[in-house]
Structures are given as C-alpha cells and as structure tokens.
Amino acid sequence: MAASLVTVGTRALVVAETESPVSRSSTTESLIAAVDAHSAHNYHPLPVVVATADGAWMTDVEGRRYLDLLAGYSALNFGHGNRRIVDAAKAQLERVTLTSRAFHHDRFAAFCEQLAELCGMEMVLPMNTGAEAVETAVKTARKWGYRVKGVPAEMAKIVVAGNNFHGRTTTIISFSTDPEARADYGPYTPGFEIVPYGDLTAMREALTENTVAVLLEPIQGEAGVLVPPAGYLPAVRELTRERNVLFVADEIQSGLGRTGRTFACEHEGVVPDAYVLGKALGGGVVPVSAVVSSAEVLGVFRPGEHGSTFGGNPLACAVALEVIAMLRTGEFQERSAELGAHLHRELALLAGTGRVTAVRGRGLWAGVDIGRAFGTGREVSEKLMDRGVLVKDTQGATIRIAPPLVIGKEDLDWGLAQLRGVLGV
C-alpha cells in the first residue's frame, strides 16, 4: 500500500494514499483474535490496538499514529498522559491509595470542598463510574422524596427523556429506549416515566405530586450529540421549582469543559439541584464520579445507607483535585469554546456539500450525520482509521467528534481534512 509521510506541526504520521484498509501485522491480528476468544463480545471496537498515547495522539502496536477525536467519550478531556495529572497520581501512589471510607484520609476533605465549590454546591457524594453516580442520583432523589417532600412509600417517580444514555446497570437500562441496551435484561425496575427529549408539554404533563426528580442530559451524547431546543432547560428548571421536584443534570459527558463552559447547563443559565459527574473528573487515569448537590438533598443520607469501597479513595481524590485546579483557571473552557467554534464552522461547510446531512453540538463536541450515499457511521469511522484518525459511530449514520481539549488547531484541521477526504470533498 502506497503511503506518504506527512508532518502535522511537530507531529509526523503515515497517511494512507488510498482508501483500502490498512494492512495489519500478525501482532495486531493475534491480539484481536485473543480478545475475540477470551472477552465477551459486548463491544465492537475498530480494529486498532493502541500501545501508547500522548496528548491528542495514540500509537498502535505497529508504530502507526492516530489522531484521537473521541477522547474516551470525554474521559480524556485533558489529553492522554497529561503531565500534571500523571504527576499527581504518581505522587499519591507513593503515599496511600486506599483506606475505604471506614477511615478518613488527608485528600478527601479538599476534594469534597473544592468540587462543591466548582459546582456552586455544598456537598459531594463520591463514587467511581458514571453509572454508579447515576444510580446514586436515583437513590438520592427517592430518599429525598420520601424524607423531605413526603411522597408515600414506594410511590416515588423519576421523569427521564427518550433516547437517553445514563449507563448500563439494570435500573438504568430500565428507563432506556434503546432496544440493544434493554433486550433480555428484564424484569425492569419500575418508577420511571419517559417523555420525548425537548418536549416541554410532555414534561409538564408527566410531573405529579409523587415525582421526585427530572433526570436529563443537558446534551444527549449517545443519541448523537443532541442539543435541546433553546429555552427548554430553563423551562424545565422553572417547572421543577414550581412542582417541588429535583432537577438532576447528568453532565458525565457534557461537563468539565467539553462544551466551552464548565457545565453544559451554563449555556442556558441553568443551575440544577444536582450534578452527576464522571469521566473527565478522573483525568483519564482512574475512574472518579460524584453526585454534587445541596446539604438539603445529600443530607438525607445517614451512615450505612449508601457507600462504595473505592469511592473517594486517596488516589482518585488526588487526581480529581488536579482536574479541578486545571478547570478553575478557565483556560480549558476557553480553548474548547474557541476551537469548538472553529470546528463547527468547518463542519457547517461540509453540511453545505450534502455529504453531511446535519451537525449538532457545542464546543469541542459534535455529532455529524453522514449522507446515506457516503456510508454508515461505522464505515466512515473505519475509513478515517485508515487515514490515521479515530472517531466512533452511533445511531447508525452518525459519527461523534470530541477531541481532547488540548488538541492543537493544526492537528484538528488535519483531522477535518481527513474527513473531507473520506467524503470526497
């Protein structure tokens, strides 16, 4: 296969000059074969085996380099191997990594205080994964409903949006509308009502005296980076206040700088009753998640009623504290806003060609719908992989673009040029 060496800023990588699949060595093939033989087939990854990564770039076991335009579904907002985050983790590894919550440790108070401050809230309940944090938010809302609002026992209801993605536990998939996420996992957990995303009338009709919370993604990520209609989030915020219902914002993908603000809710001037955070909070190094809210809401818990062995562990807190410090400067939010505006201008030009039928998103986050004649999202992702760019498809015809916030403009432009090449622009 013919190839040329192309320099991108100070970077260099091999770029295929044809659209034929990149040849794979026996190393790649054997590693993928071993995965197929010994790992449950619950993912369908692209056929690349990453060995190292730095910033916005990854290198596979062949030595071929790829521009990462997925960033671990926003878990890597600060890039691969971010020096500040890695150094914080290394320093903590030498001290203490786990005590369990049976004892206090010296990083926990600062983590809770500074994360609450970043969110404009009062209290933090730490967990590990995003799904755990969503489960915690569900439990929090129900307990608040019973102990504070006075909802009759076993009657609490939570309203969610269609096409949501909040995780994959049995409770969470019980209120999913994705057949792949739900099929064969019943019986399902009751207590949820699903309304169309962005439909305020349906939301208003769904709220009853037994509703304890509305749980929404301010931007729906897995649904294709769907941004709700202007004014929807503020209207939901006003409605939930009127009805004495908690507004819980799942900012696991959209939060911590991804959209050009610390939180996606900020674009609409909305402050929810609780944030659900994860992914980027762990800096791409360790899983860290949390529910962040007021003392009235999180104060409903008493010892023994909820917990996690690893939740809020010293290593997680040390990493998250560095992430919080980086966000406090505002530079990553500004970078996401500026580069994001450039990204969306360039993608809008593609939409004008007919190769792309729609572009959605905010900041350095975009859902790009590919015209039917130019392939499925998976096919476009594979062609981009052959050109040294990694993205991932969703919803059949959509690819998601969400690079690390540290990406350089020159590198981003190079990645967009590869997309234009795939689409024949």
* 152: preceding bond cis by omega (within 30 degrees): no
pLDDT at 25: 72
Instruction: Establish whether 165 is a catalytic residue.
Output: yes
More confident residue, 69 or 23: 69
Whether 180 and 337 have beta carbons less than 8 Å apart is answered as no
Kindly state the average pLDDT of the residues 124-152.
98
CATH class of residue range 3-39+54-80+332-423: alpha beta
Kindly state the average pLDDT of the residues 135-148.
98
Kindly state the average pLDDT of the residues 186-209.
98
Q: Is the pLDDT of residue 374 over 60?
A: yes
Q: Is the pLDDT of residue 6 over 80?
A: no
Instruction: Establish whether 279 is a catalytic residue.
Output: yes
Kindly report, residue by residue over 91-132, the tens digit of the pLDDT. 999 999 999 999 999 999 999 999 999 999 999 999 999 999
Q: Of the residues 279, 374, 386, 393, which is catalytic?
A: 279
Q: Is the pLDDT of residue 57 over 50?
A: yes
CATH of region 95-328, choose from 3.40.640.10, 1.10.600.10, 3.90.226.10, 3.30.300.130:
3.40.640.10
Kindly state the average pLDDT of the residues 250-273.
98
pLDDT interval class at 23 (50, 70, 90) = low
Q: Which two tokens stand for residue 374?
A: 């130019």
Three-state DSSP class for 282? helix
pLDDT at 24: 64
Q: Of the residues 60, 250, 369, 411, which is catalytic?
A: 250
Q: Domain map of the chain by residue range?
A: 3-39+54-80+332-423, 95-328
Q: How many CB atoms lie within 10 A of CB 201?
A: 9
- For the chain, what percent of residues have pLDDT higher than 70? 94
Q: Is the pLDDT of residue 415 over 60?
A: yes
Q: Of the residues 78, 108, 111, 165, which is catalytic?
A: 165
What CA–CA distance (Å, rounded) separates 409 from 415?
10
